[in-house]
Amino acid sequence: MALSAQVEVDLGSRSYPIYIGQALLSGGELRNLLKAHVRGKQAVIVSNETVNTLYGDAVREALSECEVDTFLMPDGEAHKTLEVFGLVIDFLIENRHNRTSCIIALGGGVVGDLAGFSAAAYQRGIDFVQIPTTLLAQVDSSVGGKTAVNHPGGKNMVGAFYQPNCVVIDTDVLTSLPAREFSAGLAEVVKYGVIADPDLFAWLEANADAIMEKDARALTHIIKRSCEIKADVVAQDERESGIRAILNFGHTFGHAIENLSGYGTWLHGEAVAVGMAMAADFSEKLNLLAQGSAARVVDLLKRFDLPTSLSESVAPEDMIRAMGMDKKVSDGQLRFVVARSIGAVEVTGDYRHEVLAEVLSDWCRP
Amino acid sequence: MALSAQVEVDLGSRSYPIYIGQALLSGGELRNLLKAHVRGKQAVIVSNETVNTLYGDAVREALSECEVDTFLMPDGEAHKTLEVFGLVIDFLIENRHNRTSCIIALGGGVVGDLAGFSAAAYQRGIDFVQIPTTLLAQVDSSVGGKTAVNHPGGKNMVGAFYQPNCVVIDTDVLTSLPAREFSAGLAEVVKYGVIADPDLFAWLEANADAIMEKDARALTHIIKRSCEIKADVVAQDERESGIRAILNFGHTFGHAIENLSGYGTWLHGEAVAVGMAMAADFSEKLNLLAQGSAARVVDLLKRFDLPTSLSESVAPEDMIRAMGMDKKVSDGQLRFVVARSIGAVEVTGDYRHEVLAEVLSDWCRP
């Protein structure tokens, strides 16, 4: 099958292609793609032990004309910190990487976010290529240039908008992905259906089994469509000053859930799944979304083995507090992305607080 | 005199104005300027003890409609580090600054660079206003959006290209500036003459006394002209991939001098003054620059009380090594900005190494 789809992210001088296909890493394709996008003679692969063991050699082989160093970071969101960012910078300097060097992020969202911020900040910005190895990273982090590290005070508090030179997505890597992480990625795919594409949502409902069986054509379709939708939104609003906020559907609740339970308890996509179920219910209770639509969202999430309720009770006031530092706060007003239908959402700060209180009351004590 | 000059830095959607005048801080002008450029209701002044004591209250007064916090950092290049950057981020989070907050850099280049990188990275970028209080910061850091912190392995190794909302330059603040720092700023003004404007260079020769007496009209003229020249170069090459490198005239040698002597021994402008004297001599020895031109550069630097030779011997090989990690290195080739005349320079990697060796031999043992 090899290279079978390409999505252009249209951002003027910062535009870049996303290559999607089967066996892009194991075939000879990667060498050509990297040759076209790695401009200098030095490269650093940023990865973790697990992913490097599986795919590191393929990438080093494809980069055989460069001087390549490999930086391995510990796995997990807990290591997406300013400290590890500092270690990457130390590593780049120790190995005398100059301004024409290229950072290759080989891994999931944690690796991509940290490697991306390192590329953005090292000598004020060097080349950057993403090879995302989780479904979540393929459909979310690979489009839009958001890079960041966490702070004890909140997720993604320090970072940059920084676009890669290209993104290479090999659907084969998903076969080695743990089931829980695969499902977590599907949560974001469901999100794209809800916010922008009723056809995609219906397609997911009709093809859920093929997707769960990791059928390559089904995966290519949903990854391509997800990247297209996100690319379209990001092209309209690169720096998240307006419409891009719709990508946060389910994330205001989701981030609060992650915050309250401590990073690492829930996978991001799992917290977002619960957050989307809550946001859909909130939308129905605000009489914006037709009754029954929230149930469709919940049903689809369940078919993808995703959680649709909290596993432990939390105090609604803790949830409100946890949402207080969320980035949807604009001058003190807490704003939500709500659905008007499956396929159309809007950002609003105009809602009755009793309705929010009712949603929190219903969901916080499952 | 009040607001008497304005320079537009033309960078498309990232364009911004530089306001230049006398008594902008002490008069009522600052309030109006900030009202036009600070969009949110929160602001953080980043400054140091000395500058905050002199001008902090004026800025807080002008921001009386905002919730304002003040972060004071220690003075000096040695504190332009990832660690202090992390403290600014902690401070922003502790004080619950959101994405609409604005960082006001009140100080010299160290404050501007650190505050600017903090603004660039906090929540992936918040508003930023610069009020430079040294001549160097006014004519150099206020144009071009370069922000960064140092690393033990090199200056400005971690940073971002990040444009401010506006820059406010009050010539009055230069009256409180120590003589050595004032001279250091003049080194960059001389540089603008050498790289782009023979008329400015001649004007500096003719008006050196008025400048050294801090005549407000003379200061406004040289600051405005310096900002215009830099704005013109930056508009052509925001991310320093080409012509912007000419702004580094004297800086390849200068950075090496700073590196070898340890940050803090030389002021940046002093090291650049010596570096420019070396670069002019190098240009003459390469038969690019007419004989006698280097002497004009040296004479003008001396009238501004600037050093034009090393104070202690260094080994030429140490100098070469110190230049090795400099950012003018492109794939291993060391490039220099050389002068073809007073007012025109070029970047070259095409020179005989014997000539460089001769320059180093002449200058490294004063």
Per-run averaged pLDDT (10 residues), chain A, 366 residues? 81 91 90 93 97 97 95 93 97 95 96 98 97 96 92 93 96 95 97 97 98 95 96 86 90 90 82 97 97 97 97 88 62 82 94 92 86
Residues of B with Cβ-Cβ distance to A330 under 8 angstroms: 98-100
Q: How far is residue A91 from each of residues A46, A61, A72, A73, A81, measured CA to CA in Å? A: 11, 21, 10, 11, 15
A146 in catalytic set: yes
Query: What does the buried/exposed string (b/e) look like for A289-317 if buried means 16 or more CB atoms within 10 Å of the residue's CB?
Result: beeebbebbbebbebbebbbebeeebebe
The closest alpha carbon to A165, from A281, A302, A19, belongs to A19
Whether residue B328 has pLDDT greater than 50: no
The closest alpha carbon to B301, from B226, B201, B176, belongs to B201
pTM recorded for the entire structure:
0.88
Catalytic residue numbers of B read 124, 146, 188, 230, 240, 244, 248, 251, 255, 268
CB pairs under 8 A between A and B: 106
Token pair for residue A148? 């960041």
- Cα B13 off chain centre by: 23
Contact A331 B82 (CB under 8 A): no
Rg for chain B (alpha carbons), in Å? Answer: 20
Residue in chain B nearest A125 by alpha carbon: B160
The closest alpha carbon to B253, from B270, B269, B276, belongs to B276
Contact A98 B331 (CB under 8 A): yes
Q: How far is residue B125 from each of residues A147, A156, A242, measured CA to CA in Å? A: 11, 12, 15
Rg for chain A (alpha carbons), in Å? Answer: 20
Helices (H) and strands (E) counted in chain B, each on its own, are: 15, 13
Contact B98 A158 (CB under 8 A): no
Q: Report which residue type is found at B175.
A: T
Contact B124 A160 (CB under 8 A): yes
* Chain segment A302-321, per-residue pLDDT in tens: 999 999 999 888 898 899 88
Query: What does the buried/exposed string (b/e) look like for A209-231 if buried means 16 or more CB atoms within 10 Å of the residue's CB?
Result: eebbeeebebbbbbbbbbbbbbb
* Chain segment B351-363, per-residue pLDDT in tens: 988 999 999 999 9
**Closest CB to A327 among B99, B151, B325:** B99
Contact B330 A99 (CB under 8 A): yes
Q: How far is residue A88 from each of residues A161, A220, B29, B43, B344, measured CA to CA in Å? A: 18, 32, 45, 31, 39
CA angle A27, A29, A35 (to 5 degrees): 140
Contact B90 A153 (CB under 8 A): yes
- To the nearest whole Å, the CA of A154 is away from the closest chain B CA by 8
Distance CA B337, CA B298 (A): 17
- Residue partners of B158: CB distance under 8 A and separation at least 6: A89, A121, A122, A123, B82, B117, B148, B149, B151
The CATH classification number of B3-173 equals 3.40.50.1970
Residue in chain A nearest B326 by alpha carbon: A98
A335 in catalytic set: no
Q: Does an H or E element contain B233, and which?
A: helix B216-236
Distance CA B341, CA B348 (A): 15
Residue in chain B nearest A96 by alpha carbon: B325
Token pair for residue B310? 């090393």
The CATH architecture to which A3-176 belongs is 3-Layer(aba) Sandwich (3.40)
Q: Are A81 and A55 in contact (CB under 8 A)?
A: no
Q: Are A335 and A329 in contact (CB under 8 A)?
A: yes
Q: Spell out the SS3 assignment of B293-309.
A: HHHHHHHHHHHCCCCCC
The domain locations on chain B are 3-173, 179-364
Contact A121 B93 (CB under 8 A): no
Token pair for residue B329? 């290195």
* Chain segment B235-250, per-residue pLDDT in tens: 888 777 788 899 999 9
- B127-132 and A336-341 strand pairing: unpaired
**Closest CB to B327 among A123, A147, A157:** A123
Residues of B with Cβ-Cβ distance to A154 under 8 angstroms: 93
Residue in chain B nearest A97 by alpha carbon: B325
Distance CA A344, CA A246 (A): 9
- Residue partners of B173: CB distance under 8 A and separation at least 6: B25, B54, B55, B133
Site of tokens 């030179």: A165
**Which residue in B82, B124, B333 has the most chain A C-beta atoms within 10 A of its own C-beta, making it the best mutation to test that interface?**
B124
Residues of B with Cβ-Cβ distance to A82 under 8 angstroms: 82, 86, 89
A37 in catalytic set: no
Weakest mean pLDDT among A94-98, A348-352, B112-116, B197-201: A348-352
**Closest CB to A161 among B86, B124, B330:** B124
Report the DSSP beta bridge partners of residue B317.
none
* Chain segment B26-73, per-residue pLDDT in tens: 878 999 999 999 999 999 999 999 999 999 999 999 999 999 999 999
Query: What does the buried/exposed string (b/e) look like for A147-180 if buried means 16 or more CB atoms within 10 Å of the residue's CB?
Result: bbbbbeebbbbbbbbbbbbbbbbbbbbbeebeee
Contact A124 B160 (CB under 8 A): yes
Q: Spell out the SS3 assignment of chain A.
A: CCEEEEEEECCHHHCEEEEEECCCCCCCHHHHHHHHHCCCCEEEEEEEHHHHHHHHHHHHHHCCCCEEEEEEECCCHHHCEHHHHHHHHHHHHHCCCCCCCEEEEEECHHHHHHHHHHHHHECCCCEEEEEECCHHHHHHHCCCCEEEEEECCEEEEEEEECCCCEEEEEHHHHHHCCHHHHHHHHHHHHHHHHHHCHHHHHHHHHCHHHHHCCCHHHHHHHHHHHHHHHHHHHHHCCCCCCHHHHHHCCHHHHHHHHHHHCECCECHHHHHHHHHHHHHHHHHHCCCCCCCHHHHHHHHHHHCCCCCCCCCCCCHHHHHHHHHCCCCCECCECCEEEEEECCEEEEECCCCHHHHHHHHHHHHCC
Contact A151 B89 (CB under 8 A): yes
Contact A125 B161 (CB under 8 A): yes
Q: How high is the pLDDT of residue B44?
A: 98
Q: How high is the pLDDT of residue A326?
A: 44
Q: How high is the pLDDT of residue B327?
A: 47
Contact B98 A327 (CB under 8 A): yes
B42 φ/ψ angles, rounded to the nearest 5 degrees: -125, 145
Report the DSSP beta bridge partners of residue A67.
A42
- To the nearest whole Å, the CA of A14 is away from the closest chain B CA by 12
Q: How confident is the model at residue B326 (pLDDT cuts 50, 70, 90)?
A: very low
Its ipTM equals 0.86
A255 in catalytic set: yes
Report the DSSP beta bridge partners of residue B147.
B160
- DSSP letters spanning B47-111: EEHHHIIIIIHHHHHHTTTSEEEEEEE-SSGGG-BHHHHHHHHHHHHHTT--TT-EEEEEESHHH
Q: How high is the pLDDT of residue B331?
A: 54
Q: From its phi and psi, is residue A3 left (phi > 0), alpha (psi between -120 and 50) or beta?
A: beta
Superfamily of domain B179-364: Dehydroquinate synthase-like - alpha domain (1.20.1090.10)
Q: How high is the pLDDT of residue B294?
A: 97
**Closest CB to B154 among A93, A117, A154:** A93
**Closest CB to B161 among A82, A124, A330:** A124
**Closest CB to A41 among B100, B160, B331:** B331
